[in-house]
């Protein structure tokens, strides 16, 4: 972005419509200058203003008994007892990762870490939710490898464990990969800090990395428009991350808060200084003066508008009282973190940008943040199928061959290749490693723990946006139930195509309705999140992909159940009402079947009862293992239990009408495979006995007939070799 490009076509070059430009002129009472137009273009972009989703998000439940911080802050937080709160949030870095996957993913991790320590919490875990095109595509293999490398580079270097996540491969993500990162942090409740600027005369201090031209225009260029043929030219809009700089920034921020030196704290993410300063001013009902001549620069001769919109990473903006400025600067020097007083809090209600003694921009804060135009969606259910049927990749017709094919498929194969690139044990809180339990479990002081999971299934949401989103919420909560955790709050990242198109608007509206219905059924609030729209290319939109992350608590970390069958002779049972269907299932995908129009309805009350039953049984010690039945159906769930425990199982499903449906039909979030002592399971309400843990083979019968009988070693080989073979 140059001065010439700003003056030429002015607002259109920056993504503003003619009507929006006219509205800006009305609010200013004149035409905006170069700096003002640049700031407005970012603050009124989709990424910053949520102008196509704000009305929908207002329908979500955002209050709860344990809620400490809700939407509007850098991260949400819930009370976990003992004077502690858990902060968490999920955000996207989709478009940057599609353009420059390593740095896009790395800075996505860096950004979500800053969101959490910006409210005073120490980051203790990262999870990620990733979507790519099919692995038959060279581009998708490249994006996967570089994204995983970027996540590992940043998280491992800064010393925050990556404890869980998910990876899916579907054709509609070929041009628009999804990289959603979630961070969880821990903080004493009394040390939480908000981002609202306050106190006329208080000083603004910018600290962290120097400001450069990397990331200029990132929010408006990359996250508020569809990707197309010219993606390569957008590489300069992708930020460059430095995890070692962020580590110093993290420790410096937490020490400043521990010493009580700050009035407010805000990270510089999308839109850089423009967003951080105007949002702090809006929340506090104040004005701010910023002198860009005082901002430390990495590159010479940067224009004032470039300094205001730069998205250089690892920077924080704080408000402190004048008498504390020198102490703030001293703490920053201790951590070798640049810090400069760049402005002050005023009572003007304006964001004034100065360059030395000259005023180069004067913007009403309310116009920037609160008066952005909000658009009505025009949702319409699509009249025809939006997505092509996937290619057929499974030829097996016998149950054993289908099970092995599913276990080795891109979406169900072991993710060990990826998670072994991440440090999941640093900080010594991790109770269960990836693939040992359905949710990540992190120990807290005193023996209790928190559990966290992240989930989504774009293909099922594409079949039925409302029901598919409900399933995502319940599957995520089911993962927590399997380790004995009660859900306390939910964060989300809504990844959709162009909302100006009626069929995408319908997907988005129905998904948000499902998200709200799921949260109300579970009795948990939405604490915050992110919306990523315009994930669309020449071939059409991505699958509508609401990703949800839920945090819960469990009283005793030692009683956390794992996936694996644990003891020979234990009884295996099913808890919950399975009612499986092959509609939108993994088996249907491998068979090349088109997406159905709709999914089976959910019985919300029975699902809630099943979750509560499993959660209580895990907490009581009655269960030695618990695993939800999700992708691939009951047969895959049983195989995963065998593989995690290294033991076989003998199961009888009784007479079934359709064998494929009984074995591989899906009903995410509704049912659980559990195991334990016979007497313990006999006392468990609604537990349907299926069989026994024994031997070294998985044998599934349907009455007198054997449906499949496979050695656990063969199951292990199929699952372990699936992803490496596809990558090769």
How many CA atoms lie within 13 Å of 608's alpha carbon, on the beta-carbon side? 13
Q: Judge whether 636 and 406 are in contact, CB under 8 Å.
A: yes
d(CA 724, CA 728): 6
Whether residue 611 lies in the annotated active site: no
Q: CA-CA distance, 462 to 407, in Å (whole number)? A: 23
Distance of alpha carbon 62 from alpha carbon 647, whole angstroms: 44
Q: Which of 658, 691, 699, 662 is nearest to 674 (CA)?
A: 691
Closest CA to 512 of 524, 496, 500, 498: 496
What is the DSSP secondary-structure string of 570-606? PEEEEEE----B-TT-HHHHHTTPPPPS------HHH
User: Is 11 a residue of the active site?
Assistant: no
Find the catalytic residue in 11, 52, 93, 611: 93
Closest to 713 (Cα-Cα) out of 696, 726, 691: 696
Measure the CA–CA gap between 463 and 466, rounded to whole angstroms: 9
C-alpha–C-alpha distance, residues 168 and 252, integer Å: 37
Q: Which of the residues 47, 338, 503, 611 is marked catalytic?
A: 47
The H or E element containing residue 21 is helix 18-28
Using CA atoms, how far apart are residues 17 and 392, in angstroms rounded to an integer?
Answer: 44
Three-class SS state of 202: coil
- Decide: 201 and 252 in contact? Cβ < 8 Å: no
Q: How far is Cα 26 from Cα 624, in angstroms, rounded to an integer?
A: 66
Question: How much is the CA Rg of the chain, to the nearest whole Å?
Answer: 26
- Rounded Cα distance between 44 and 306, Å, is 17
Q: Which of 590, 614, 587 is nearest to 669 (CA)?
A: 614
Task: Give the phi and the psi of residue 550 in degrees, each rounded to 5.
Answer: -125, 135
Taking alpha carbons only, the member of 156, 263, 258 closest to residue 201 is 263
Separation CA 667–CA 575 (nearest Å): 13
- Residue 86 has a CB neighbour count (10 Å cut-off) of 30
What is the rounded CA–CA span in Å between residue 253 and residue 529? 23
For 116, the enclosing helix (H) or strand (E) is: helix 101-117
Indicate which residues carry an active-site annotation: 47, 93
């Amino acid at each position: 972005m140059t001065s010439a490009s700003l003056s030429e076509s002015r607002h259109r070059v920056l993504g503003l419509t003619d009507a929006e430009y006219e509205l800006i002129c009305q609010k200013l009472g004149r035409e905006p200058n170069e700096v003002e137009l640049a700031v407005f273009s970012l603050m009124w972009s989709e990424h910053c203003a949520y102008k196509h989703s704000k009305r929908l998000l207002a329908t979500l439940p955002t209050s709860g008994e344990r809620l400490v911080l809700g939407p509007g802050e850098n991260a949400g937080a819930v009370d976990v007892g003992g004077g502690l709160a858990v902060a968490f949030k999920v955000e996207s870095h989709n478009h940057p990762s599609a353009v420059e996957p390593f740095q896009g993913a790395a800075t996505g991790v860096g950004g979500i870490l800053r969101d959490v320590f910006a409210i005073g919490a120490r980051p203790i875990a990262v999870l990620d939710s990733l979507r790519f095109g099919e692995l038959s595509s060279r581009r998708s293999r490249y994006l996967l490898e570089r994204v995983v490398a970027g996540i590992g580079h940043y998280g491992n270097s800064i010393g925050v464990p990556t404890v869980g996540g998910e990876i899916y491969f579907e054709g509609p993500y070929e041009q628009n990969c999804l990289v959603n990162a979630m961070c969880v942090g821990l903080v004493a409740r009394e040390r939480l800090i908000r981002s609202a600027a306050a106190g006329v005369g208080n000083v603004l201090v910018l600290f962290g990395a120097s400001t450069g031209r990397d990331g200029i225009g990132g929010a408006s260029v990359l996250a508020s428009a569809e990707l197309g043929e010219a993606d390569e030219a957008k590489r300069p809009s992708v930020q460059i991350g430095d995890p070692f700089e962020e580590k110093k920034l993290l420790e410096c921020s937490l020490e400043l808060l521990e010493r009580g030196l700050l009035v407010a704290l805000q990270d510089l993410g999308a839109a850089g200084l423009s967003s951080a300063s105007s949002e702090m001013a809006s929340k506090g009902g104040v004005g701010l003066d910023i002198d860009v001549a005082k901002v430390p620069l990495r590159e010479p001769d940067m224009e004032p508008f470039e300094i205001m919109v730069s998205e250089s990473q690892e920077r924080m903006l704080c408000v402190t009282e004048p008498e504390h400025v020198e102490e703030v600067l001293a703490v920053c020097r201790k951590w070798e973190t640049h810090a400069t007083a760049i402005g002050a809090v005023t009572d003007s209600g304006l964001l004034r940008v100065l360059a030395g003694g000259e005023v180069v921009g004067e913007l009403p804060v309310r116009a920037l943040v609160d008066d952005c135009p909000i658009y009505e969606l025009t949702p319409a259910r699509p009249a025809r199928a939006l997505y092509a049927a996937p290619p057929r990749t499974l030829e097996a017709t016998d149950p054993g061959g289908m099970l092995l094919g599913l276990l080795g498929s891109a979406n169900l194969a072991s993710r060990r290749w990826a998670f072994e690139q991440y440090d999941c044990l640093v900080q010594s809180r991790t109770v269960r490693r990836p693939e040992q339990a359905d949710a990540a479990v992190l120990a807290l002081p005193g023996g209790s723990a928190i559990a966290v999971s992240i989930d989504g299934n774009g293909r099922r949401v594409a079949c039925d946006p409302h029901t598919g989103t409900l399933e995502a919420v319940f599957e995520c909560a089911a993962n927590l139930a399997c380790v004995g955790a009660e859900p306390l709050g939910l964060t989300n990242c809504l990844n959709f195509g162009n909302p100006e198109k009626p069929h995408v608007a319908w997907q988005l509206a129905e998904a948000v309705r499902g998200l709200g219905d799921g949260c109300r059924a579970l009795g948990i609030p939405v604490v915050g999140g992110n919306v990523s729209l315009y994930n669309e290319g020449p071939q059409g939109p991505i699958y509508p992909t609401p990703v949800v992350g839920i945090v819960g608590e469990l009283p005793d970390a030692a009683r956390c159940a794992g996936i694996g069958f644990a003891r020979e002779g234990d009884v295996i049972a099913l808890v919950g009402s399975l009612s499986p269907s092959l509609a939108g299932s993994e088996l249907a995908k491998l068979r090349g079947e088109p997406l159905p129009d709709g999914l089976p309805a959910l019985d919300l009350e029975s699902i809630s009862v099943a979750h509560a039953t499993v959660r209580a049984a895990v907490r009581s010690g009655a269960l030695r293992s618990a695993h939800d039945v999700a992708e691939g159906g009951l047969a895959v769930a049983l195989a995963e239990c065998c593989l995690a425990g290294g033991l076989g199982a003998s199961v009888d499903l009784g007479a079934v009408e359709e064998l494929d449906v009984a074995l591989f039909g899906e009903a995410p979030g509704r049912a659980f495979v559990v195991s334990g002592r016979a007497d313990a399971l006999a006392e468990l309400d609604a537990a349907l006995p299926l069989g026994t843990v024994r031997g070294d083979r998985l044998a599934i019968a349907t009455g007198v007939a054997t449906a499949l009988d496979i050695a656990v070693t063969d199951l292990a080989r199929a699952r372990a070799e699936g992803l490496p073979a596809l990558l090769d």
